[in-house]
Structure 1
Amino acid sequence: MKKEITFAGFGGQGVLTMGLFLANAGMSEKKKVSYVPAYGAEMRGGTANCTVIISDKEISSPVVAYPEIVVAMNHPSLEKFEPKVKKGGLLLVNKSLVKREVERNDITSLMIPTQELASEAGLARGSNMVMLGALLHLNNIINNENIHDYLIKTFKGKYLDKMPLNMATIEAGMKYVKEFKEKNIAV
């Protein structure tokens, strides 16, 4: 198993946190992991993206030109990374901020209303956790039964009071995708 995932958005959306979560989860499961964050000089509002590779075998290079999975949290990220999704890959898009549809028909795409789902779950700034839940439901990247433990490792003791809300928000993303699939709409 080898998964190459790019998370992209602007600073403050939790893009790097999603990647760090997957990297920590992969290491906890004794997999080979590469995590490469990239961000602009701005504290918030600048570009941010990261690439995560999780594999059962050695990773020869952390560079990924055409990821299998892309999570686009804003319009500029969709514009930049939609062309780079590997043919047959998956593109998850934050429908709350991106108003155009995905143009490619050789990949699977899903528009997710992350802000609305996060607010309903009680964590208005949890769009990234909704997207993470959707991704985890769609792919067998990590053991989903250990999500809570991986969150604690990712946040390293900070925000422990938010763990129930983070879990609820992840579960909202999982539930959204599950219900979407049950409606017999191809994902």
Structure 2
Amino acid sequence: MYQGIRIAGFGGQGVISAGILLAQAGVEDKKNASWLPSYGPEMRGGTANCSVVISDGEVYTPIVSAPDTVIIMNEPSLPKFEPLLKKGGLMIINSSLINSRPTRTDITVVCVPCNKIAEELGMDRIANLVALGAFIKKTGAVTLTSVEHAMKKVYKRAKPEMLELNKKALQAGYDAVK
């Protein structure tokens, strides 16, 4: 199993955090994993992104130039990352903030209202975890349990009630995918 993932959105949407969490979840599942953020001028309100690799085999590079999956959290990321997705790849779209749809017909598209679900849970900052839940349901690259365990390592200073809310967001994203 090999899964190359790109997660993209505005700075502040938890794109980088979601990538770290996903890579740590891969490690929790006894897989090889890498994470590579992209900052640069994109940090100031533009598109921020990261690459994550989760694999049963060796990870030779953390760079994901032709991802198996892209998670798109904002409108400007769609035209930027759609062309990179492999033929037959998976695109998860945060339909709360993205009105456009991909032009490609050779990919699987899953629309999840990540921000809406997060707001219903009481905090829009957890939309990234809703997206990760959808990713887990569609790919099985990691387990919900591994992400929950990873949260304790990645969010070391989080209060128990915040970790519980994060778990609810993850489960809600998982359940949102049919």
TM value normalised by structure 2: 0.93
SS in 1 for 2:58: coil
In structure 2, distance between residues paired with 1:111 and 1:147: 21
Where in structure 2 are there 5+ consecutive unaligned residues? none
Q: CA deviation at 1:75?
A: 1.1
Q: CA deviation at 1:43?
A: 5.3
Cα 1:146–1:26 shift into 2, 3 Å? closer
Question: With CA pairs under 8 Å and 6+ residues apart, which has the higher RCO, 1 or 2?
Answer: 2
SS in 1 for 2:140: coil
SS in 1 for 2:33: strand
SS in 2 for 1:106: coil
Q: Counterparts in 2 of 1:63-142, with a 5 A limit? A: 63-142=63-142
Runs of 4+ in 1 over 6 A off after TM superposition: none
Counterpart amino acid of residue 108 in structure 1: T
**Most deviating of 12-21 and 30-39:** 30-39
In structure 2, distance between residues paired with 1:158 and 1:97: 27
Q: Does 1:149 align with 2:126?
A: no
Task: Indicate the residue corresponding to 1:16 in structure 2.
Answer: 16
Counterpart amino acid of residue 110 in structure 1: V
Where in structure 1 are there 5+ consecutive unaligned residues? 182-187
Root mean square deviation, CA, Å: 1.5
Task: Indicate the residue corresponding to 1:6 in structure 2.
Answer: 6
CA contact 1:123–1:169 (8 Å) conserved in 2: no
- For residues 26-57 of structure 1, what are the alpha-carbon distances to aligned partners after superposition, in whole Å with 9 as ceiling and x for unaligned? 12222211110011346552321000001111
CA contact 1:90–1:107 (8 Å) conserved in 2: yes
In structure 2, distance between residues paired with 1:44 and 1:162: 27
CA contact 2:26–2:146 (8 Å) conserved in 1: no
In structure 2, distance between residues paired with 1:160 and 1:102: 38
CA contact 1:122–1:169 (8 Å) conserved in 2: no
**Most deviating of 148-157 and 106-115:** 148-157
Q: CA deviation at 1:138?
A: 1.0
Task: Indicate the residue corresponding to 1:45 in structure 2.
Answer: 45
